Each structure stands twice: as structure tokens, then as C-alpha cells.
Amino acid sequence: MGSFKSSVFILVLHLLEGALSNSLIQLNNNGYEGIVIAIDPNVPEDETLIQHIKDMVTQASPYLFEATEKRFYFKNVAILIPENWKTKPEYVRPKLETYNNADVLIAEPNPAGNDEPYTEQMGNCGEKGERIHFTPNFLTGKVASQYGSQERVFVHEWAHLRWGVYDEYNNNQKFYLFNKKREAVRCSKGITGKYEAIQCQGGSCTNKPCRIDTATGLYKEGCEFIPFEPQTEKASIMFSQSIGSVVEFCTEKNHNKEAPNPQNQKCNLRSTWEVIRDSEDFQKTTPMTTQPPAPTFSLLQIGQRIVCLVLDKSGSMSNGDRLKRLNQAGKLFLLQIVEQGSWVGMVTFDSAAHVQSELVQINGATERDALTKSLPTVASGGTSICSGLRSAFAVIRKKFSTDGSEIVLLTDGEDNTISSCFNEVKQSGAVIHTVALGPSAAKELEELSKMTGGLQTYASDQAQNNGLIDAFGALSSGNGAASQRAIQLESKGLTLQNNQWMNGTVLVDSTVGNDTLFLITWTTQLPQILLQDPSGKKHDGFVVDTNAKMAYLQIPGTAKVGPWSYSLQASSQTLTLTVTSRASSATLPPITVTSKMNKDAGKFPSPMAVYAKIHQGSLPILRATVTAVIESVNGKTVTLELLDNGAGADAAKDDGIYSRYFTAYDTNGRYGVKVWALGGINAAGQRVTPQQNGAMYIPGWIENGEIKWNPPRPEISKNDLQGNQVCFSRTSSGGSFVATGVPQAPIPDLFPPCQITDLKANIHGYKFINLTWTAPGDDYDHGTAHKYIIRISTSILDLRDKFNESLQVNTSNLIPKEANSKEVFVFTPENISFENGTDLFIAIQAVDKSNLKSEISNIVGVSLFIPPQSPPETPTPSPPCPDINVNSTIPGLHILKIMWKWLGELQLSVAL
């Protein structure tokens, strides 16, 4: 236990790196420390799961050590145990470990029966993943025949999570042609096996030979590659770690670069080991000469939430109604966001700290109302952030340890002494969420969030953007069940003139509705408020707070499902509307939207990427309209439509993660991020395969020379969830980031088109090659590119390494479309031999009007397959027909000739 706690200081250094993930993992002398494995609160209490986790990691560590040439092992792991499980003396309170930053989540399958292990990956090749997902059935070995042993799967998923590599199999294309041979998509080719299909009828199943598609030369759907047993090939873990002989990652020596798999597509044909070798982990380690120790484990149990608000009331807080806006946001947090049973205290600071309230447990409206009366109402004095933090630690320590507590720190002022308490913050074990208000908040503020894993947000002085309320609305607990967390349905603002109206609707869907709150703020005087539920019933009774210039209404019970209509009327003032709710059921997962940037600091001209994950439980929500608004410190806003199309910044299509690049820098400093999501269709509304970035589902195995088949890989069907068609609205704070290196206007064009990552190719008519891809833009995935360069080669490596020397295709008639449009281009290879059995490789580069070029696209291959001619059939004698003159005027003959011609063309097209 001691070694785990002593790692916090090194852990802090890792957090300062500003990686995509919020993980607490650090690498120390070849050993991974700070790994967090969390058991979801909805998992029924089962103490044996803890031992299964320990066994999995303990057995995985030597497998990882040997697979990485004695470089890495698992040193220590924290296991997060739900609050609703029984307490034990050996369970201690977490420090910085939360469900939000867990590296592995053990959760019930959703829908039931889908126990596939997988890893969320938002970024590009080589970028760390987000989180590994396992189910209790996987952990206890109940699906070992489908995925292999838990410890080997864990190493497969670890490679996704830590090094950003991808799978070397492909469920969507299991076979390909190369050198006139049908090959299974695998790495390495040294893995041998049978090609078999299974046919089931009336409860009995028989093996069948795989059938060949005469149009493509490939095996038809239903065919599987079943590896022989035993094997001698040692690679690769990212193909199928379940094969007994497989103990290594593919290297450049045995990598199957022609296989159409995600690793080749996303990593520029590099082997898994090449990507790992380029990682920061690899660069700062050398192989060990001794065997590593076994992992150690810390058992941490989630406890009651402990929060202390630390609020700036210095003189600058009187500017621009900041203090009133702080009161509005603070009241939302205290009345609605913080969960029942939490302990909440309050400290304010100017030149010194003032305790406004000791820790109070929230049991109902009485405590909430009392805390709101402690919010500051007068602003004066200087800014001493460390005084406020030290006072908050003292408030918490009167009742609890600061381990695992939270501090919400808001300031609008500069403080050049803030670094004087960094060491105290590091040692406290508290998570600090920071809210930077206005353009002059201390530049070092974000360091406090980074070093403790807290949320960092920014709110401008533009009241209509509702940034301060959004920041406090994002502060739901990082622990506890999803049904307990506040969910923001709406956040809008508008400046009205001459008795104008602010009208709109808020969708309350079936997954939310409990504890629903409508909050309205204004800048001068109370507006007229009209609110109707979906049945047309008007709702009055808003509680009006004239001092804080806000009114709110709590909907009793569960709010009615459907559109709630609001109309607000005012003159010459700014209004905002915020609506929050909670899950309608403890068993039906609510639709949630979580948003973030790929990093917390951007240096011009490097683009930022904004992500919004929209899920219901573990299922993605598809075809939602998702919009990000990014606001600079100047108050300028940029609106981006986020897409789930697998192109540009989006890593995978239809995974419920919507993405887009941000390039519209206008100044240095902080940028705030907010996301709106509307509508959407649950992935259960259609048949879709589950998440791809995970261990391969084993179709079957060979036992004593006979194939033993597993059940078919599970699919999600439209009946797996209630209400497969869901209309909803959500808003989400994406935190903030800091931009540096932005030149003064006019800002030069230094942004090339983004890389094309979804190029596909197929052959028509034995000579036409049909290409499809998603159009990039002039600046990454915005605007319109100027032209495309398409090159081909019979050598995949020549095309990658000598692209500019490869044969160029004539694209003079190819005019680029606007970014994110679908491009189609058909060409016939010229000046290159294209005969039966030819393997041809193709890649694209986009060029913008400033002659900036994108990276080379993913490389695709086509193989010309002309099926052998069938032996001529012996004609059947037919009765003699009279001679017919082709120019005859016999009625109907012209139509007959057209039919003959049409049937011939139809036969030809079917053959193609």
C-alpha cells in the first residue's frame, strides 16, 4: 500500500503532460503504476470479482514482460469497489482515483449477452486509448472459449489503451487476394489453418467447404479461418492472442502489410511493434536483466462525496455582474447538481480566506437552501488563491481526510503566488476543479486541475453564452451510479430588445425526467415566463430570487416525456435558460453526452480536436445532430458540426463518438468548449456489430482434428433496448484549453487538408477501378481542397515510401467537393500492366489552394480476378425455325431484338 501512495508525486508529473486520456497511469522503472480498475456500481456484489481481477493482472504481467522484450510489467493496481458493496477494514478511501479516470471498467453487458472485451480509442495511431471495457462474465472466465484467457486478452487490450495500436484482423473483410491466392486477414502469415463454413438446420450443424464468389474470387460470407492446433508461429497478439504459440507482437520482419486490417489502415502499414517502439514508454526504458516482481493491489472503496467550494470575492468580481453570475451558478450547483448525501462546505477569498460554511451533509432542501445563503454578495480586496485552498483543506480535515475530496476553485484574478501551494495540493490527495472567469484569471490555474485530475473550465464575460452555469453544471460526481448524476438537457442564452421573445422547446426523453429543474437568469429585470409540458399544461410557481436575478422551477415526480415549450419575453437585457434532470430509472441507462478536447493546450498551427461521446450505457447513439461552440478569450465564438463519419478527426464511423478539428484560432489564451446534441437513433434500431477495437471473437477451434464451433458472434438487434428510436436534447461542457503561438491577424494559412483515412477501392468490369472516400477540406476537415493527387503502384511499400515517384493517375476531371462529402472516382489503369492476378495499390493526397499537402491516405489494394471460363454446354436440339431477315418487318421482331440485346447486357453486368 505504501508504494502505491508514494507514487503520487511522479503521477503528478505524468498528468502535467496533457495527454488525451485522464488516466493516472505512470511508468516507473519499467513498471506501470497507478492503474485503476473500477467495478461499476450496477454490478451485483460479488467479492470473487476482486480475486479474478488480481489473477488476471498477475498472470498478464509476465506475458506482457516477455511480449515486450523484457521492457514492461504491471507494478501496482488500484481496484475501485462500489460504495454500495459491504465495507471491509482493508478497503481504504481513494485519493485521485475515480470512475471518470478508470483505465478498466467492469460493467454489466448492455445489451445482455454481449460480453465482448474492447477498448475505446478516439485518437489516431500511436495515441493512447480511453478505457478498456470488461464484463463480469468475461472476468470470471465464462466466455473464455470465445475470446481466450483473460490475462492474454488484457495484454491485447493494454496495447490498444497504452500505445494506440489497432487490431490485425478484420470482421468486415476476413479474406483478401494477393499473388493470385486467397488469404485470411491475419498477422503473421505463418499462422496456418482451415477454411471452413458451418451450416445449421433443424438443430444440427455440419461443416461445409467454403464457397468462392466468382465475381471477387474471395470466399463467400460464412466462411471462417480456423487456425490449426498446435502452431509454431509466435506472432501476433493483435491478431489472436488466444493461439497458444502466440507470445509476441508482429514486427517489421513478419508483419503482413498487405492485409486489409485496421492496423495497416490507421498506422501507415507499420507493424504493431514499430508503433510500440516509437512510443514514449519505449523511448525512456531499457530491457530489464531480472524478472519483475508480481503486481501489488490497493483495494479502494468509494465513499460519500466531499466537496468544498472555494470562491473568489476579490474586487475584480464586481466587474460585469461576475458576482451575480457566480451566485446563479453556485445556486444551480447547490440546489441541483450536487448529489443527495454529499458533504459540502464553502470558503471565499480575497486577500485572505473566509469560511462561509463548515461541511454540511445534504439530506434535503433545508441544507441546500442554507448553503445558498452563504454565497458571497460583496466583492472587495485582492486575490490570494492559496489562502482559499489552505482554508478548504482545513475545513475538510475537521471531519474527514482530504483523500478523495473535491475542491471547486473559481477565480477571475491574477495571483503570482499560486505556485507556493502546489506541493500542498499534491500531497492533499484532493481533486481540484478549476473555473477561470474572464480574461485575466491566473495563468497557472490549470496546473491545479492537471496535477490532480480535475476538470478545467473557462467562462467569458459574455452572459448569453451561459459559460459559468455550464461550468458548474458539469460538476456531477465522478463516482456513483449514472442514475444519480445530473444531466444537462438545455443551456441557451439570448440578448433581447423591444419586448422580443426567446422561444424554444426542450426534449425530455424516456431515459430522464426525475428531479427536473428549469432555471432562468436575467441581467436587469424579471422577464415574462411561460412554460408548457407536452400535454399543453402550463407550469407556474417559479421561485424568484431578485437579488441573484434568477428564477427556478422544480418539476414534481417524473417530468412528462416529450417537448416542453418555453417563451420568455424581455427588453434590452440578456436571458439564459438551463434545464437539468436525472435518469428516470435505476435500471434503464440514460443517454449521456460527454465532451472533451484531445489535449488541454494547443500550439498554433497544430489543430485541436473536439470529441463528443453519445451513448446509452455501452451502446452508441447514431445520427445525432451534434454542434460544438468554441469561445475564445476575446468572446469570439466558432461553431463546428461534429461528425461520426470515420473521416478527418473521427477515428471510427458509427461508434457514437462525434469529432471535428478546430483550426479557427483568433488569439492566444483560454478557449471554452460547449456541445449541443439533438435527436439521434439508438444503435439498437438496426443490426450492428459491437465495438471493433478488442479481442477477436473465436469462431471455433480444432480439437483432435475436429472443428468445435462457437455460437455466432453476438449482434445488437433492434429489440435489445426499450425505445430504439430516441429523440433527446443534451448539452455538455467540454472544458477548456489554452492556445499559444497564435500570430496577429491576418492569421496565415498554415493548415493543410486532413489525411484521407477511409479510401476504399473495388474493380468493375475487369478494368475499371472505383474509388470512394470522404472529402477532406482546405484546412483539415473544413472548406474545400484544391485538387487531388492519386498514385498507383504494384508495390505497396514503394507507394508508401516513394509516393512522389509512383505512377500518377489523370485526375484533371476530378473537382474536389466540400469537406465531409462523399467522393467517387472511376479510372482505368494506364501505363501499367493490369492483367488477371495483378495486385495494384492506390493512395491519395489532397492539396489546398496554398499548395499545402495532406498526409498520404490509407493505402488500398485491388486484385484483378477474372474467373475461369466454364466449359461450353452441349446445346439441346430444338425444332427448326424459319429463316428471319434481321431487316424484316415482321411485327414484334424489333422488340424481340431489343430484348435479346437487353438480356445480354444484363447477363454481362451480373457476371461483373
Residues with a known catalytic role: 157
Return the axis-axis angle of helices 8-15 and 445-452, rounded to nearest 10°: 120
Which residues, in sequence order, are bridge partners of residue 196?
209, 224
Cβ distance 259 to 169 under 8 Å? no
In three-state form (DSSP H/G/I as H, E/B as E, the rest C), the secondary structure along 571-600 is CCEEEEEEEEEEECCCCCCCEEEEEEECCC
Instruction: Count other C-beta atoms under 10 Å from residue 783's C-beta.
Output: 18
The residues, ordered by sequence, that sit 6+ positions from 475 with a Cβ below 8 Å of its Cβ are 333, 337, 338, 408, 433, 455
- Considering only CA atoms, give the Rg of the chain: 31
Q: Give the span between the Cα atoms of 750 and 779, in whole angstroms.
A: 8
Cβ distance 489 to 513 under 8 Å? no
Helix (H, G, I), strand (E, B) or coil at 435: strand
End-to-end Cα distance, the chain? 67
Q: Give the span between the Cα atoms of 850 and 852, in whole angstroms.
A: 5
Grid cell of 891 as nine digits: 411485327
Pairing of strands 343-349, 787-793: unpaired
Q: Give the span between the Cα atoms of 258 and 795, in whole angstroms.
A: 10
DSSP H/E element including 211: none
Cβ distance 815 to 807 under 8 Å? no
Instruction: Count other C-beta atoms under 10 Å from residue 589's C-beta.
Output: 21
Q: Give the span between the Cα atoms of 431 and 307, in whole angstroms.
A: 9
Cβ distance 474 to 459 under 8 Å? no
Pairing of strands 343-349, 353-361: antiparallel
Q: Give the span between the Cα atoms of 325 and 437, in whole angstroms.
A: 10
Cβ distance 515 to 583 under 8 Å? no
Which DSSP symbol is given to 399?
A: T
Among 417, 352, 426, residue whose Cα is nearest residue 387 = 352
Q: Give the span between the Cα atoms of 642 and 660, in whole angstroms.
A: 5
Q: Can you give the length of the chain in residues?
A: 912
Grid cell of 436 as nine digits: 477561470
Instruction: Count other C-beta atoms under 10 Å from residue 322's C-beta.
Output: 22
For 703-835, where are the alpha helices, taking DSSP H only? Answer: 796-801
Q: Give the span between the Cα atoms of 109 and 148, in whole angstroms.
A: 18
* 677 phi, psi to nearest 5 deg: -135, 140
Grid cell of 869 as nine digits: 471460363
Amino acid identity, position 457? T
Q: Give the span between the Cα atoms of 138 and 118, in whole angstroms.
A: 11
| Dihedral sign for Cα atoms in the order 34, 40, 46, 52 | negative
Q: Give the span between the Cα atoms of 385 and 311, in whole angstroms.
A: 9
In Å, the largest CA–CA distance within the chain is 113
Return the axis-axis angle of helices 48-67 and 150-163, rounded to nearest 10°: 70
- Please report, to the nearest 10 degrees, the dihedral formed by the alpha carbons of residues 525, 527, 528, 531 taken in order: -140
Helix (H, G, I), strand (E, B) or coil at 463: helix
Alpha carbon of 88 to those of 55, 338, 508: distances in Å?
Answer: 20, 27, 41
